Amino acid sequence: MSEFKIVKASQDAAPKPSDATLLEPWFRSRAETVATKKLQTYAERQKFADFFELNGCVRCATKNKTHGGQGFCVSCHAWFSNQLQRAMRARKDA
Ligand SMILES: [Zn+2]
CA of 50 to the centre of ligand 1 (A): 15
Three-class DSSP category at 67: strand
Q: pTM for the whole thing?
A: 0.65
CA of 87 to the centre of ligand 1 (A): 20
CA of 73 to the centre of ligand 1 (A): 4
Distance (Å, whole) CA 57 – CA 60: 5
- Is residue 71, in this structure, part of any structural domain at all? yes
Q: What is the pLDDT of residue 42?
A: 93
Question: Is the peptide bond prior to 17 cis by the omega test (within 30 degrees of 0)?
Answer: no
- Is residue 6, in this structure, part of any structural domain at all? no
- Is residue 12, in this structure, part of any structural domain at all? no
- Is residue 34, in this structure, part of any structural domain at all? yes
Based on C-alpha coordinates, what's the Rg of the chain? 15
The CB density around residue 85, as the number of other CB atoms within 10 Å, is: 10
Q: What is the pLDDT of residue 14?
A: 54
Q: What is the pLDDT of residue 2?
A: 60
Distance (Å, whole) CA 77 – CA 59: 9
Please name every residue paired with 72 in a beta bridge, in sequence order, or none if there are none. Answer: 69
What's the pLDDT tens digit per position in 16-26? 556 656 666 67
Q: Provide the residue range defining the domain that includes 23.
A: 19-93
Total domain count, the chain: 1
Which percentage of the chain shows pLDDT scores above 70?
A: 74
CA of 62 to the centre of ligand 1 (A): 6
User: 47-61 b/e with 16+ CB inside 10 Å = b?
Assistant: bbeebbeeebbbeee
CA of 30 to the centre of ligand 1 (A): 23
- Is residue 3, in this structure, part of any structural domain at all? no
CA of 59 to the centre of ligand 1 (A): 5
Q: What is the pLDDT of residue 7?
A: 65
- Is residue 8, in this structure, part of any structural domain at all? no
CA of 1 to the centre of ligand 1 (A): 19
